[in-house]
Amino acid sequence: MASKLNVRHASQVACRDCSLSPLCLPLALKIEDIDELDEIIKRGRPLKKGEHLFLEGDSFHSVFAVRSGALKTYTSTNEGEEQITGFYLPSELVGLSGLDTDSYPVSAQAIETTMVCEIPFDKLEKLSDNHPSLRRQLMRIMSKKIREDQQMKLLLSKKNADERIATFLINLASRFRRRGFSSQSFRLSMSRNEMGNYLGLAVETVSRVFTRFQKAELIHANGKEIEITNAMELCILAGGKLADNADVVNIQ
């Protein structure tokens, strides 16, 4: 089954018609300017699960907006194991961390069938020369990423397994919500293994926590299908800032 996130997009929709535009880069532009952005965007064929968008070390040339599906980014430690650094849902921008080097510092791989909009960075820079608001949007996106990374570091250095998983689920729920999907029940696009890798936990621990959450009736999990049955409790467990969780608890 294709991701729910797929259904609403034809393969070659323009930014001005894309339902993601209020979340994506066009957000920064006036309606009459969106077409300018549209012209520099390249839309390729869909990536199948497992295909790479770029590899660590590839020369940096573009940033990418996820249109449907999902991506992960990862680096390889020198022992050869991978460290997942992020998951990307529709409207989110991948590749910005390569911006100050000549090559991508991470690899980006589709974890389900995924469509992306490629934005050549030199052209984006030129465009943003004439559009301060686009510039600021880019800065905001990076600044937001830095704050999210801070939250992630807090998670990795202070939270226990339960809190990590709770945080992860709440965060996903909130991102789904903002995209117009249910924050109560959704489908995880990543495997338990990938989740554990990202959260700094062994697969087995992830599995055990899911079982425990299920018994505590916080969630109902069936493979990758997740239903959050006690959002309030889960938020408390996650223990993040209320602002991040509010929309998950209040509106369902």
Partner DNA sequence: CGTTGCGTTGAGACATTTCAAAATGTGTGG
Partner DNA sequence: CCACACATTTTGAAATGTCTCAACGCAACG
Distances in Å between the Cα of 138 and the Cα atoms of 145, 215, 217 are 11, 43, 41
Q: Site residues for a second copy, window 154-193 (CB under 8 A)?
A: 154, 156-158
Asked if 85 touches a second copy (CB under 8 A), the answer is yes
Percent helix / strand / coil, the chain, rounded to 5: 45, 20, 35
* Residue 21 partner contact from a second copy, DNA, none using kind-dependent CB cut-offs of 5 to 8 Å: none
Asked if 103 touches DNA (CB under 7 A), the answer is no
Asked if 80 touches DNA (CB under 7 A), the answer is no
Q: Name which position in 35, 39, 129, 227 contacts a second copy (CB under 8 A).
A: 129
* Residue 156 partner contact from a second copy, DNA, none using kind-dependent CB cut-offs of 5 to 8 Å: a second copy
* Residue 210 partner contact from a second copy, DNA, none using kind-dependent CB cut-offs of 5 to 8 Å: DNA
* Residue 252 partner contact from DNA, a second copy, none using kind-dependent CB cut-offs of 5 to 8 Å: none
Distance CA 238, CA 162 (A): 8
Binding mask 190-209 for DNA (x = CB under 7 A): -xxx------xxxxxxxxx-
Asked if 46 touches DNA (CB under 7 A), the answer is no
Distances in Å between the Cα of 163 and the Cα atoms of 72, 206, 231 are 22, 11, 13
Neighbours of 101 (CB within 10 A): 10
Distance CA 76, CA 233 (A): 35
Q: Name which position in 19, 185, 239, 247 contacts a second copy (CB under 8 A).
A: 239
Structure tokens of 18? Answer: 């894309």
Q: Specify the residue, 117 or 199, whose C-beta has the smaller distance to DNA.
A: 199
Asked if 221 touches DNA (CB under 7 A), the answer is yes
Query: Nearest Cα to 171, choosing from 155, 158, 157?
Result: 155
Q: 36, 127 in Cβ contact below 8 A?
A: yes
Q: Site residues for DNA, window 152-191 (CB under 7 A)?
A: 160-162, 191
Structure tokens of 125? Answer: 């820079």
Q: Name which position in 13, 14, 27, 99 contacts a second copy (CB under 8 A).
A: 99
Asked if 143 touches DNA (CB under 7 A), the answer is no
Asked if 55 touches a second copy (CB under 8 A), the answer is no
CA-CA-CA-CA torsion sign (221, 227, 228, 229): negative
